[in-house]
Structure 1
Amino acid sequence: MKNKGKNKPLFFLGDRLEFPSVEESNEEGLLAIGGDLSPERLLLAYQNGIFPWFNEDDLVMWWSPDPRMVLFPEKLKVSKSMQKVLEREQFRLTKNTCFERVIDHCAKQKRKDQVGTWITPKIKEAYLQLHQKGFAKSYEVWAGTDLVGGLYGIDLGHVFCGESMFTLVSNASKFAFIKMVRELGASGYKAIDCQVHTKHLESLGAEEVPRTTFIQLLSTS
């Protein structure tokens, strides 16, 4: 079985805790298939610029796209309308108060051109384990006592790898994202990993950088 466009054999992961070089990814960013979703393997993946993404009935698929969508905190863009939302204080932000509820909402969020969700029960269980170990974190947005938005991702200490966000009311997920970026930027974080390009992320200041640049960011604390 060959990778499309690169004429290289796909890597099938076994029980050993390892990944091939990200340079072996195909043109779509697919690097390897198989392996488990243990906390140890997931952390090794994120530390090396790799993340899992697959449908419920598929083998685990591991990706490292080139270019990589990244937001540098100092380049965050906040529109005038969102600045007014922030100033009105119509929302309240918390952190790590209901991680499981956030990931459940992210799994149910309807997205354009997406059928079903990649946040399968196996993914949920794996990230709950990472949360219990202090690596997976959530930001929650409240309107009064109602949870109306939020996001979660993997915290590497100097780079935050965003995984998914949800919103139940207008601007709630943007509120969470902007607040998170400002907090992490003030704490010295180098970048927010956004994985792949979307117009929404681009409007907030994220940009595509070469994968080599992103790997260098990961390797320097």
Structure 2
Amino acid sequence: MVNLILFGPPGSGKGTQSAKIIDKYGLIHLSTGDLLRSEIANKTPLGMEATKFMDQGLLVPDEVVIGMISSKLDANPDARGFIFDGFPRTTAQAEALDKLLALKKTAISVVLSLEVPEDELIKRLLNRGKTSGRSDDSSEDVVKARIVEYHNKTAPVADHYAKFGKFRKVKGDGSEAEVFDLLCKELNELVAEKV
């Protein structure tokens, strides 16, 4: 089983590249945002628990999110692997995820981080803001703040996985196809090892 975390600041191409990776390698996309919405819509016990916090304007506690991830893993016992999206965002979440995966007799295989220069990210996001209607992509100050927030929050998570030799940087400022080729070079080794 190949379990991948794809990192990258806003505008680095995570969404585009995730879709291509899922298609090529048959991994299951595990988006914590999608999981939350699904659990709430289906009125599951975890969804109802999450709603209690969200209705008060609070973040959903890590243990509730981990419970949702556990359910998703259990619902897909024959999966070739998972690509984690939006989680973990903190070292505590990374440690909780590692414990959960260990219980399931698996682990994070690799964390691939799309590295894109900040000026390129700003340009991409402002261009996206012109067509997407996303308010968080329309102001250069807001875009810069999001990039700083990303680096502040995820740097410790990167350090956590680097300790185990699982963190790799991938040049993310080439064409879509060039970046995908670089990601595939990293993943092909892992997939070959798991076969």
* TM-score, scaled relative to structure 1: 0.29
- Structure 1 or 2: more helix by fraction: 2
* TM-score, scaled relative to structure 2: 0.32
- Structure 1 or 2: more strand by fraction: 1
